[in-house]
Structure 1
Amino acid sequence: MEKKSNISLSEVIQKLEYYCSYQERCHQEVRDKLKQFQLTSLERDTVVVHLIDHNYLNEERYAELFAISKFHQKFWGKKRITSELKARYISAYLITKALNAIPEDEYQNTFLSLAERHWNSLSDTDLYKKRKKCCDFMLRKGWESDKVLDLIMNYEL
């Protein structure tokens, strides 16, 4: 049996409105936040529905902003963005839509400049070690393996 909280439902709604207003949130983050309030499942559902109805919670907007910001700020590739969004239980349709928001020419230019910058930062003289380190770095960032291998193996950066 679930415990009843000392805080009123309207206070929880107000707190969650603030929580969602200063940063985009996905449904899973809101559900996790709601766990700190001892609410019944009906009350939790009521809060989530209220946030969706009043546009505080929008997974499409969240996914697009997440994809674009991680691409621009952390230089993540589409594979890493996809896995991070899946970990947040975002639907495949919204993930595809979010990835399509990234301009393809900008994606390609970022890929090339990031690879070149990392290649130039490596001090190894052994070409094979340097290729492996650069390849591992790009794969950790979530860039597609075929693109990375093609670039690293066929071109001298």
Structure 2
Amino acid sequence: MDEPKAKKKITDEKVALAKAEHYCAYQERSQQEVRDKLYEWGLWTDAIERIISELIAGNFLNEERFAEAYARGKMNIKHWGKVKIKQGLKIKRVSDPLIRKALLKLDADDYYRILQQVIEKKNRSLTEKDTFKRNYKLKQYALSRGFENDLISDVLKNSEL
């Protein structure tokens, strides 16, 4: 049996900074993701905070930019609602003001259209004949995707399902 390869620890702060810059340049990251990665590499707390400061100064790390990219991506690609996006950002330890700002930047028309698509797609897969039960199932599904109750009701009321 092969033993799992031990993670190589990084002790040089300059090497860690270069790797962290590459890590952040690849895709937007939250400060917490970078902090977790640096701890994984075996760095000490004071070195981690210095590296994070350097990344922010070099614009490799920007929490506001991350929050907006995360919200946009989850809405457009994963078809998540604002409730689920907000939960995801909270897990990434993004501050509440930045979460609110990111959610406000989502296009309302696109958001509504995506909710309609989510409901229509689910509707095609349901075999329920009773309209009341069908609408209940559609509403529950949309709620599980993180969409708001009043918006779901509005879509269900205005669509010919």
Q: Is the deviation greater in 98-107 or in 111-120?
A: 111-120
Deviations 1:43-70 (A, max 9, x none): 1111101111111110000000000111
The aligned counterpart of 1:65 is 69
Question: Is residue 82 of structure 1 aligned with residue 86 of structure 2?
Answer: yes
Offset of 1:130 from its aligned partner?
Answer: 2.0
Q: Is the 8 A contact 2:11 2:43 kept in 1?
A: no
**2 CA distance for matches of 1:52 and 1:44?**
12
**1 CA distance for matches of 2:79 and 2:31?**
25
Offset of 1:118 from its aligned partner?
Answer: 1.5
**2 CA distance for matches of 1:154 and 1:8?**
60
Indicate the SS of the match to 1:96.
helix
Deviations 1:82-137 (A, max 9, x none): 11111111111111111111111221222223212221221222334322321121
Q: Is the 8 A contact 1:131 1:153 kept in 2?
A: no
Residue identity matched to 2:113 = N
Offset of 1:154 from its aligned partner?
Answer: 7.8
| TM-score of the two chains, using structure 1 as the length reference | 0.88
The aligned counterpart of 2:45 is 41
Identify if the C-alpha distance between structure 1 residues 6 and 23 changes in structure 2 by more than 3 Å, giving closer, same or farther.
closer
Q: Is the 8 A contact 1:70 1:76 kept in 2?
A: yes
**2 CA distance for matches of 1:6 and 1:117?**
48
The aligned counterpart of 2:6 is none
Q: Is the deviation greater in 21-30 or in 139-148?
A: 139-148
Q: CA RMSD in A?
A: 1.8
Question: Is residue 106 of structure 1 aligned with residue 110 of structure 2?
Answer: yes
The aligned counterpart of 1:116 is 120
Q: Is the 8 A contact 2:10 2:16 kept in 1?
A: no
Aligned pairs, how many? 153
**2 CA distance for matches of 1:114 and 1:6?**
45
Which consecutive residues of structure 1, in runs of 5 or more, have no partner in the other structure?
A: none
**1 CA distance for matches of 2:91 and 2:150?**
24
Identify if the C-alpha distance between structure 1 residues 76 and 50 changes in structure 2 by more than 3 Å, giving closer, same or farther.
same
Task: State the percentage of identical aligned residues.
Answer: 37
| TM-score of the two chains, using structure 2 as the length reference | 0.86
Deviations 1:10-36 (A, max 9, x none): 111111111111111001101110112
